[in-house]
Structure 1
Amino acid sequence: MNNTMEYKGYVGSVEFSEEDGLFYGKVMGIRALISYEGSTAAELVNDFHGAVDDYLALCEENHTEPERAYKGSFNVRISPELHKQAVIFAMAHNMSLNSLVENSIEQAVHAG
């Protein structure tokens, strides 16, 4: 089972409240709170699409740039010693530190 859905480049979570008998979720990876719900999977998907469309329309109306998640750039904080070891390893293998990090994350994601 997949606990996310995607629409217009936005990724939304999928959760279920047994107590309320509702599916619900929110758009992930941005600061703006965009939430949605539905009593069926189809209603959840429709409300998700509507919430994203409403957010984009509001941004256009206010002449603001919509937030975009997952731009491909992020900061990572690690120990200075691990940083040094990673740079040495990357240099020894004729690759950049960015390539090492990207390859390592790709291997971890595909292994899981």
Structure 2
Amino acid sequence: MNAMTYKGYSGRVDYDDDDEIFFGRIAGIRDGVSFHSETVAGLKAAFHEAVDDYVETCAKIGKSPQKPYSGNLMLRVDPSVHSKVALAAEVAGKSLNQWGEEVLREAADKQIA
């Protein structure tokens, strides 16, 4: 799996070897918006078109387009994990939010790469 971004939206991309086609959907929103192409360049253009069409269609029907993620994250973990995370942040000289954002960003970058 790979991802692409455009105008704040991300696209989740896969490849179907049987049909020899790239396909994807806008990630992080509940509305189902998909796109596809046989080439990487075409896929990028199809993704941009899908995002633009989504925003334009929402405007036409008077609906606010869903925005991908607000930046607020509610996370429930075992109390022992919470304790370790708080300690790790303190030892690093960072707030829990700063430490968590750094660790989550590194893990996400590694997963997406």
Fold shared by both chains (TM-score > 0.5): yes
Work out whether 1:11 is the aligned partner of 2:13: no
TM-score (norm 2): 0.78
Q: Which has the higher contact order (CA 8 A, sep 6+)?
A: 2
Q: What is the alpha-carbon root mean square deviation over aligned residues?
A: 2.5
Asked if 1:84 corresponds to 2:89, the answer is no
- Measured against aligned partners, the alpha-carbon deviations of 1:34-64 in whole angstroms (never above 9, x if no partner) come to 1001122222222211111111011111222
1:53-102 deviation line (CA, Å, top 9, x unaligned): 11101111122221111322212121022223434554566643212312
Structure index of larger Rg: 1
TM-score by length of 1: 0.78
Name structure 2 gaps, 5 residues minimum. none
Q: Count the aligned residue pairs.
A: 111
Q: How far apart, in 1, do the equivalents of 2:85 and 2:54 lie?
A: 41
Say which SS state the counterpart of residue 74 (structure 1) adopts: coil
